[in-house]
Amino acid sequence: MRDDDDRLGFLDGMTVRYLAGMVIVVCVGLLAYLNRDKLIERPQADAASLNPDYVKCRDARVGQVEKMLADGLIQQDRFVEFKDRAIATCAGQFPPQQ
């Protein structure tokens, strides 16, 4: 018999196990970072501080995007992006009141 039977293989060593654990931790951290908007709720602005023109613009543009979704012009996966862009456009035109 050889003495190699008593030794651990390369993949059974603690260094490789530590490296595998670090890869898992990095991957989980990367997934959490990429999905941070879904994992963490954004604070909503108080209705009192919203510009009334912004509210009108936002409601009109979001309604248009919802109609586009209902008419089949856009797919569900693009709906959120279109809605966010519509809201950002209105926020740029009508900033919150101080």
pLDDT tens string 5-39: 456 677 788 889 999 999 999 999 999 999 988 88
Q: Is 50 exposed, middle or buried (0-12, 13-18, 19+ CB in 10 A)?
A: middle
Are 53 and 9 in a shared domain? Answer: no
Are 30 and 49 in a shared domain? Answer: no
Are 51 and 24 in a shared domain? Answer: no
Are 5 and 23 in a shared domain? Answer: yes
Mean pLDDT of 59-87: 91
| Amino acid 44: pLDDT | 65
| Amino acid 31: pLDDT | 95
Are 58 and 88 in a shared domain? Answer: yes
Are 52 and 98 in a shared domain? Answer: yes
Are 93 and 51 in a shared domain? Answer: yes
pTM of the model: 0.48
Are 25 and 49 in a shared domain? Answer: no
Are 13 and 52 in a shared domain? Answer: no
Q: What is the pLDDT of residues 87-97, one digit of tens each?
A: 999 988 888 76
| Amino acid 5: pLDDT | 47
CA distance 96 to 56: 13
Are 74 and 86 in a shared domain? Answer: yes
- 70 lies in which domain range? 45-98
Number of domains comprising the chain:
2
| Amino acid 41: pLDDT | 80
**pLDDT over 70 for what percent of the chain?**
83
